[in-house]
Each structure stands twice: as C-alpha cells, then as structure tokens.
C-alpha cells in the first residue's frame, strides 16, 4: 500500500483566519452579517461614549447601496471620544488591535468586531471602510478610506484628509458597504436596537432603515452608569503566559515588588506569604526566574486562599434606576423593579449580576415554560442562542414561577445583565453565556430577589381583587334592602341615607372592609341599576 504524503504547510494571518471562519464572529450569511455589522458599530459607538462619561447620541443609517445587488451601506455616527488620527488605520485595519485589552468592562473585548465587518464588506462588495473622526481637544476632523491587506493583516490607506472644525464636534462616523439581506435581518435589527434602548435609556438612538422608516428612542434619563476603571489583574486569574508578560513589561527589580505593585489584592503580608509558600526569595529579580520557579509561583498564586476578592471598580453595572427607567419606557408595566447584586467572582474575575422584572402593562405575553427574557452581557443585548444560555436554564429550571404567583404564560419579562471584565461567552460572536456555577448562582439569587417583590405585589393585587369581589357581592344588595326597609318602616322615621349609613356600618363591623370602598360600589351598583 502506498502512502500519500503531500502535506503542504503554510501560516495564515489573523485577518485571513477570520475571513475564512467569519461565522464564528457572527458573519455566517448576508442576513446575519448585516445584523452583526450594525451591532459591532453600535457597540463601538456606545463604548466610545458612556464609558467616558458622555451621554450617547447615536445615529444608525442603513441604505440600499446598489440598484440591483443586495448591497447595503451601514453608517453609524456617535458623539464619543473619537480616535487620534494616527491610530485610525490600525484600529480599523488590523485584526486583533484594540484599546480594550485591559481589565476594564467594555462591550468590545476581542479587537475583532469592526475588522471582521470590514473584511466581510471587502469580500462581498470590494468597498473600503470609511472613517471620520475627531477627538474633543483636536482642531481638525480626520477622514480615512481603508482596506485590510488580508495576507499581511495590515491596513492599507486608500485616501485620507482633514478639515478644520467649525463647531466643537467630537465623535466618529464609520461606514461599511456590505452584501446583506435586509428583509431577513430587519426584525432582528429592530429588536437589537429596541433592546439596546432598554439598557441605555440615557442614550438618544436613531435608526433610519432602507425602507426609510425612522425609529427614534429619545433619552429618558440623564444619568450614566458609573464608568469602569482600569484595574490590575487579580492573582486568582493568573496563568504562566500572563505572568511572563507582566514580568517582561515590569520595571520592578524584585519579585516581591512585582507582586505588590502589579497585582490587586496583594499587600506586603500576602506577598511574603505567597513567596514563602512558593519557596521563592523575595529579593530575586523576576526576570531571573526560571520556568519551574515561574510555574511554582503561578500555582501558588492561583491556589492561595486568603486574598481579598477582586475589586469591582473595573465594572460598570447599569444600576437599578436605569434598568427600571428602560423597562418603563419600553413596556409601561404595572410592576417593575430591579436589583444590582453585590460583586462576586469566578476564576479571579469580578462580575455583577443585575435583574429587572416587568409585569403587566405592555409587557409581551410569555411562553408557557418561562417569562420573556432580555439577556445582556456588558450592556450588550444577546438575541441569538437563547436556548444554550445559562440565564435561560436558570429561569426555566431553577425557579418555580408559580411559587411567585405567576401562572405562565403571563405578561412577564425578566431582564438579566451580567457584567464582568471577562464575560464567559460561548463564542466570539458574543451571543450566549456559559454555565459557570458562580454566575449561575448569582443569576438565580438576583431573579429570586426581584421575584419575591413581584410576589408581594401580586399577592396584594389578588387580595384587593378578592376584597373588591366581596364588596360587590355584599353591597349590591344594599340599595335593595334600603328600599325594602323604607317601604316597611313607611313614614318619616329614618331617612334612606341614614339606613344606608347604618347598613354600611354593619358591613364594616362584620367584614373589616372600608366604608369608602363599599360606598363606591353602592354608587356604581345604583348607577348601573
């Protein structure tokens, strides 16, 4: 038997990799691609505003770009911090280039989004990406047209220019022309924008569709979520490569200083204890540590039990006030409440779970097995892969809704927001969250906390309804009884009003119902009679 051995070995660039495997980044087909492109641009726009203390104003325009082919031009404008001009080519033209590879909560995290969208655009229409940007303190507005050299993973600037600002505008406008399927993407895009608006009631968001529909969500609160701060890594989340990277870039001359200064939650006492346990002298230069010592240090750092938990400063939860405002604006519910849980951690990363529940009003009717779900991760709405998300599983399996007086299907909606410096997404398309036990527990506790308030509300409502029924059934006889009694007593004696008053008092004494409630019912019965 002859062996066929004609293996060819080559390397591909990150750009080529994501062009080939674009579906893992959400660009599987023209409908999904159009949706994903809008999403990536909107998320960059929001990151450039709310994380920097700017109330966002975002405009999204989708236009048909060719009379025959299904080409669409997507333009997203924001009033954010803009980009320095020399960064623009890299930021939009080099896959895996980002300002967000730091420990700080942002919507973007992979340094991929806008580039995969640009690659998809380039591949389907050949059109370059266009960027207009200015930072608040710059006098000029800069303009770029770029494409990505796929093989080198490098930006190619096709055109650039600048002009002097006439007003103090700052922000960024990004345009992409790509093959899309508007009719199939339409409902998802509208839903995406609506759900974004629920989580960002502090933003003005306008969407202009290819059908010339204008969807406008006007800002309803002027409060921004607390902006995230960049933090140092927590030792529980460390690994060998990360430690090496920190050692390479540190200027500290002893491993002791490295631990104290480059990590959070390590003070002088802890540093000594960790180094002792790892059998590494405090004064040694970290750059001199060999592979076995490094491994020992990493293992000890990871397993040491007595650190303070990671700080939540890097996180930017929405706040219950913002969640309630967003839900009220969208659904005008009869009941709405929200909680922000205390920070918690998994694998050395801090995370916070927030939960809002809306009931009644215009809240859509749920399925039989669970309330309507609005899932968010780092303020991004998640629309796809609901079935495989840990939030779905908690809502279906861990919560007996009937214990909370909710008989499904019901007009009930549960919003869950998970924010973290590292959301455990199942893929780079950022659509569903993995079942991490610590996260699952917090999601459950958060939902239960709000569900208990809902139960209190519903219990009160049910009781009031029962009382009302009781009053109705008793009070409807009063006019009749009064009439009969006046006929019997026949004469001046007691007036009709006095009789009614007496009867009402008897009912109050016997039932504990309020006399005003009873009189209201009597009046309605008399009017109805």
Q: Which is nearer to ligand ADP, 40 or 389 (CB)?
A: 40
Q: Measured from the CB of residue 152, what is the shortest distance to Mg ion in angstroms?
A: 22
Rounded Cα distance, 320 and 497, in Å:
51
CB 383 within 8 A of CB 376: no
32 binds, among Mg ion, ligand ADP, none (CB under 5 to 8 A by kind): none
Q: Which does 110 bind (CB under 5 to 8 A by kind): ligand ADP, Mg ion, none?
A: ligand ADP
Nearer to ligand ADP, 344 or 378 (CB): 378
Question: Of residues 82, 89, 113, 233, which one binds Mg ion by CB under 5 A?
Answer: 113
100 versus 520: smaller Cβ distance to ligand ADP: 100
Q: 55 or 485, CB closer to ligand ADP?
A: 55
Phi first, then psi: what are they for 516, rounded to 5°?
A: -65, -40
Q: Which is nearer to ligand ADP, 54 or 373 (CB)?
A: 54
DSSP-H helix ranges across 99-181: 113-125
Q: Are 98 and 245 in contact (CB under 8 A)?
A: no
CB of 110 to Mg ion, least distance (A): 8
Contact footprint for ligand ADP (CB under 6 A): 40, 44-45, 48, 78, 80, 82-83, 91, 98-100, 108-115, 172
What is the closest distance, in whole angstroms, from the C-beta atom of residue 149 to ligand ADP in the complex? 16
Residue 78 CB, nearest distance to ligand ADP (Å)? Answer: 5
Binding of Mg ion by 200 (CB under 5 A): no
Closest distance of CB 47 from ligand ADP, Å: 6
Quick one: 44 or 79, whose CB is closer to Mg ion? 44
CA 168 to chain centre: 31
Considering CB under 5 A, how many residues would be counted as binding Mg ion? 3
Would you call 34 exposed, middle or buried from its count of C-beta atoms within 10 A (0-12, 13-18, 19+)?
buried
Nearer to ligand ADP, 401 or 425 (CB): 425
List the interface residues with Mg ion, window 35-54 (CB under 5 A).
44
Q: Is residue 349 a contact partner of residue 237, using CB atoms and an 8 Å limit?
A: yes
**Token pair in block for residue 400:** 């007996």
- Cα separation, 220 vs 204, in Å, equals 9
3-state class (DSSP) for residue 181: coil
Minimum distance between the CB of residue 43 and Mg ion, rounded to whole angstroms?
Answer: 5
- Range in contact with Mg ion (rule: CB under 5 A) among 101-109, 364-372, 420-428, 501-509: 101-109
Please tell me whether residue 108 binds Mg ion under the rule CB under 5 A: yes
Residue 320: other Cβ atoms inside 10 A: 16
CB of 40 to ligand ADP, least distance (A): 6
- Taking alpha carbons only, the member of 207, 200, 286, 189 closest to residue 244 is 286
Q: How far is the CB of 401 from ligand ADP (least distance, A)?
A: 37
How far apart are the C-alpha atoms of 279 and 300, rounded to whole Å? 10
Q: Which does 204 bind (CB under 5 to 8 A by kind): ligand ADP, Mg ion, none?
A: none
Nearer to ligand ADP, 45 or 327 (CB): 45
d(CA 425, CA 196): 18
What's the full length of the chain, in residues? 529
DSSP at 398:
I
The smaller minimum CB distance to ligand ADP, of residues 118 and 298, is found at 118
Name the binder of 48 from Mg ion, ligand ADP, none, CB < 5-8 A by kind: ligand ADP
Q: From the CB of 48, what's the least distance to ligand ADP, in Å?
A: 3
Binding partner at 258 among Mg ion, ligand ADP, none, C-beta below 5 to 8 Å by kind? none
Distance of CA 519 to the CA centre of its chain: 49
- Under a CB-based contact definition with an 8 Å cutoff, are residues 42 and 52 in contact? no
Longest dimension (CA), the chain: 124
Q: How buried is 450 (Cβ within 10 angstroms: 0-12 exposed, 13-18 middle, 19+ buried)?
A: buried
Place of tokens 């967000």: 100
Q: Which residue is nearest to Mg ion (CB)?
A: 108
Give the residue with the Cβ less far from ligand ADP, 62 or 112.
112
Residue nearest ligand ADP, Cβ-based: 108
Give which of 257, 254, 345 is closest to 308, Cα–Cα.
345
The interface partner of residue 78, options being Mg ion, ligand ADP, none and the CB cut-off 5 to 8 Å by kind, is ligand ADP
Pairing of β 412-420 and β 380-382: unpaired
Told to check if 105 binds Mg ion by CB under 5 A, we report no
Helix (H) or strand (E) holding 60: strand 57-64
* Positions that interact with Mg ion (CB under 5 A): 44, 108, 113
């Amino acid at each position: 038997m002859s062996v066929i051995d004609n293996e060819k070995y080559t390397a591909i660039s990150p750009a080529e990799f994501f062009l080939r495997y674009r579906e893992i980044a959400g660009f599987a087909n023209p409908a999904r691609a159009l949706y994903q492109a809008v999403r990536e641009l909107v998320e960059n726009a929001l990151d450039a505003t709310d994380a920097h203390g700017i109330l966002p104003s975002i405009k999204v325009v989708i236009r048909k770009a060719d009379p025959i082919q299904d080409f669409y031009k997507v333009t997203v404008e924001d009033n954010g911090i803009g980009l320095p001009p020399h960064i623009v080519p890299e930021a939009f033209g080099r896959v895996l280039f980002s300002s967000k590879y730091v420990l700080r909560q942002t919507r973007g995290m992979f340094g991929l989004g806008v580039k995969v969208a640009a690659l998809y655009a380039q591949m389907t229409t050949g059109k370059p990406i266009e960027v207009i940007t200015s930072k608040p303190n710059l006098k000029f507005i800069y303009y770029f047209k770029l494409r990505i050299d796929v093989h080198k993973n490098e930006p190619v600037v096709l055109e650039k220019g600048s002009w002097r600002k006439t007003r103090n505008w700052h922000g960024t406008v990004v345009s992409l022309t790509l093959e899309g399927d508007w009719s199939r993407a339409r409902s998802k895009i509208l839903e995406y924008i609506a759900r974004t608006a629920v989580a960002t009631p502090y933003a003005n968001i306008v969407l202009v569709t290819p059908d010339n529909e204008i969807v406008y969500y006007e800002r309803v609160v002027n409060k921004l979520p607390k902006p995230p701060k960049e933090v140092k890594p927590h030792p529980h989340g460390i690994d060998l490569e990360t430690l090496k990277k920190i050692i390479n870039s540190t200027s500290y001359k002893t491993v002791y200083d490295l631990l104290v200064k480059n990590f959070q939650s390590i003070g002088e006492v802890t540093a000594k204890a960790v180094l002792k346990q790892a059998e590494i002298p405090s004064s040694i230069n970290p750059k001199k540590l060999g592979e076995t010592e490094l491994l020992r240090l990493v293992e000890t750092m990871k397993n040491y039990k007595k650190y303070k938990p990671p700080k939540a400063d890097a996180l930017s939860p929405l706040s219950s006030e913002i969640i309630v405002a967003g839900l009220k604006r969208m659904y005008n519910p009869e009941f709405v409440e929200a909680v922000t849980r205390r920070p918690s951690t998994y694998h050395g990363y801090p995370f916070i779970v927030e939960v809002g529940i809306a009931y009644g009003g215009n809240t859509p009717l749920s399925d039989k097995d669970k309330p309507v779900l609005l899932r968010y991760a780092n303020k991004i709405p998640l629309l796809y892969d609901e079935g495989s998300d840990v939030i779905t599983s908690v809502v279906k399996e861990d919560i007996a809704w009937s214990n909370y007086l909710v008989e499904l299907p019901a007009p009930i909606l549960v919003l869950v927001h998970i924010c973290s410096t590292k959301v455990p997404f199942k893929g780079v398309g950022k659509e569903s969250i993995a079942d991490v036990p610590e996260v699952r527990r917090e999601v459950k506790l958060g939902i239960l906390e709000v569900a208990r308030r809902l139960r209190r509300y519903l219990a009160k409502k049910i009781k009031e309804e029962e009382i009302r029924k009781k009053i109705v059934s008793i009070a409807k006889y009063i006019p009749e009884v009064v009439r009969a009694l006046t006929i019997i007593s026949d004469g001046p004696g007691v007036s009709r009003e006095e009789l009614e008053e007496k009867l009402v008092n008897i009912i109050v004494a016997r039932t504990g119902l309020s006399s005003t409630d009873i009189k209201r019912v009597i009046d309605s019965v008399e009017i109805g009679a």
